Amino acid sequence: MAKPQSRVTLNGSSKSPLPSGQDLGPADPNQSLEVTLLLRRHRSPDPANFASNSLHQRRYLTRAEFARSHGATSHSVQRVRDFADQYNLKITQENLPARLIKLSGTVQSFHQAFGVDLHHYRDASRTFRCRSGPLTIPSDLQDIVQGVFGLDNRPQAKAHFRIRKPSPNVAHAATISYSPLQVAQAYNFPPNTDGTGQCIAILELGGGYNPSDLNDFFENLGVPLPKVTAVSIDGAANSPTGDPNGADGEVELDIEVAGAIAPGAQIAAYFAPNTDQGFIDALSTAIHDAKLKPSIISISWGGPETSWTAQARVAFNSACEDAAAMGATVIVAAGDDGATDNSPDGSLTVDFPASSPNVLSCGGTRLSLSGNSISSEQVWNDLATSEGGTGGGVSQAFAIPDYQKTANVPKAPNGFAGRGVPDVAGDADPATGYTVLVDGKQAVIGGTSAVAPLWAALLARINQSLGSNVGFVNPLLYSASEQQSFRDITTGNNGSYPAGPGWDACTGLGSPNGTALLAALRNNPGK
């Protein structure tokens, strides 16, 4: 039994009760579980090295350099070891560069260690272990432990893809679909590039891919089959369900869009459970993967900003800063439910992790082509027919970053001067969607899920051409927006925010002109 000791509330750990479902009572005190602790950095990386407006002035750290200078300290780890011993917990993994420590033990031990009561809830046919309220920790850990994840294993995020439905509700051009190659050509992606030398990480919180689907898709497209590697996180694995309307649609869309446009890049799919713990573990694993060394990380999952604990938002944003320091770009879909992001009360909110100031957030458009050229492009908004629309708005959790200070971002609904979402855009309307192969069947899929791997492939090709990584690309893009690097989308809205000249909360800076963007990045003098 642990000795009485001074305890404090862990900042940002308060969690809301499960909004629906039946409380089945307390969790079995003898049930075993594994929890992830995030520790504070030894010291933060210097933004001057990775966030300069001039690509030529940047100096990225290798993963080994980052581990030595910015990971968790051995002293902090020892303090956690002592804590674990005191509460009958076992350390199963230590990752000092990522600052993650995994603890295993019983529900009773974790109850004592963090002052938490765990209950089982049934929601529809699924049962989850849930908690509510804040966690507590010994006061001597308050400057060491930054987050605790895994006590609650309710689903954290949803995939932002939309399969086109044959429906009379779709009022426009429902027969149009494009291959990823057609979209890349329309957006003038740099010629004579294929992403060689790059690794694109894709985070997946369910489902899987069938190698036979990938073989058939790329063969039919006449594109070399990219090298695809599945990485297992927290016991999850590449597990196709056979349901193209489920998570398989997300996984195969991501791989096929990125792989078709950048077939020379290696694609690493990191599979994790759909929990806040799984999401954060997958992101940290990809960022600090010293073997595959992803230069770009594509994320097509998320949820309303308010559905995350503050500690989870801080942990995710901090990991993305790690990525920036090492020259990796994190790209995130902005959501498919308009300006409310399908929030429970219908209030305006943005999707997270798209609202992190350290990621490139991707909104969606409806793209119409005439031959290989764009004939029209406007904000994707089929909300009136319940067919989705691009997310976008203003964060109420993250302050406006320096790179958006001159972008005329409006105030958040509560008056907060927040980070504007999205940064950029691309074709996302299922009515002008991407023809892909999922579970042996051809499908047309849209959603901002398609835009994240589209931009991932573009930046892989740009990195290849430059011979260096663009890394934290946002400051560079907002500088490049003064040139002809984007197609400004000025028509449409996402249910609340209108499109207009320059940056807007529907399509950001606009859709890409890939070749012009490459030239701007190559020649940018900075400010």
194 is catalytic: no
d(CA 153, CA 157): 12
Q: For 231, phi and psi rounded to 5 degrees?
A: -120, 130
Three-state SS sequence of 147-158? EEECCCCCCCCE
Catalytic residue among 298, 449, 479, 481: 449
Cα-atom radius of gyration of the chain, to the nearest Å?
A: 22
d(CA 143, CA 147): 11
Q: Taking Cα atoms as reference points, which of 296, 247, 246, 245 lies closest to residue 271? A: 247
Catalytic residue among 152, 252, 254, 377: 254
Catalytic residue among 152, 248, 250, 504: 250
204 is catalytic: no
DSSP string, 223-286: -PPPPEEEEE-TT------S-TTTHHHHHHHHHHHHHHH-TTSEEEEEE--SSHHHHHHHHHHH
Query: Residue for token digits 């303090």?
Result: 79
CB contact set of 454 (below 8 Å; sequence gap of 6+): 180, 183, 184, 257, 258, 261, 362, 426, 427
Instruction: Using alpha carbons only, give the angle 388, 390, 394 rounded to the nearest 5 degrees.
Output: 130
d(CA 359, CA 353): 8
d(CA 377, CA 176): 14
449 is catalytic: yes
Q: Taking Cα atoms as reference points, which of 195, 173, 198, 172 lies closest to residue 184? A: 195
Maximal C-alpha separation, the chain: 74
Task: Tell me which residues are annotated as active site.
Answer: 250, 254, 449
